[in-house]
Amino acid sequence: MMTDTIADMLTRIRNAVTVEHSHVDIPHSRLKFGVAEVMKREGYIWDFEVVQAEDGKSAPTLRVHLKYGPNGERVIQHVKRISTPGRRVYRRANLLKPVLNGLGINILSTNRGVMSDREARQNNIGGEVLCEIW
């Protein structure tokens, strides 16, 4: 049984970017779907889709299409899990600082859904800091 599914998602993305895969398949959940939505809005991935199992009995998967620059450079340079099951990290809106002076993002889980730290500061809401990406 897996206890930290978000860490698994981030590790799969990190490994796929390292070997320059075009996409990566991840077991689907609503939280992972929200994280993928934020990554797409912020420009870190091309797109994502929910792929149903061919047999119809297995759980659906989330297929994330990774993004690379025109010369093959990686858009995602760094992915780090911040809040873990053993150490939850929460931040208020006024304590959310830009990552790398605005070049990176934190992804937060708030009471209004999953959003980036930029969106959370605009809406003046805090939440659990899931990860940071640049």
| Better pLDDT: 118 or 2 | 118
Q: What local confidence, expressed as pLDDT, does residue 56 receive? A: 74
- Determine the Cα–Cα distance for residues 124 and 103; give it in Å rounded to an integer: 20
Among 77, 80, 49, 52, residue whose Cα is nearest residue 62: 49
pLDDT-based confidence at 40, cuts 50/70/90?
A: very high
pLDDT digits (tens, 9 = 90+) for 54-108: 887 788 999 999 999 999 899 999 999 999 999 999 999 999 999 999 899 999 9
Find the range with the poorest average confidence among 36-40, 50-54, 107-111.
50-54
Q: What local confidence, expressed as pLDDT, does residue 118 receive? A: 95
Q: What local confidence, expressed as pLDDT, does residue 58 receive? A: 84
Q: Which amino acid is at 96?
A: L
Q: What local confidence, expressed as pLDDT, does residue 55 receive? A: 81
Residue 43's contacts (CB-CB under 8 Å, 6 or more residues apart) are: 67, 75
pTM strictly above 0.85: yes
- Determine the Cα–Cα distance for residues 85 and 60; give it in Å rounded to an integer: 24
pLDDT at 4 over 70: yes
Q: What is the mean pLDDT of residues 105-119?
A: 97
Structural domains of the chain, with CATH: 5-133 (3.30.1370.30)
Q: What local confidence, expressed as pLDDT, does residue 1 receive? A: 67
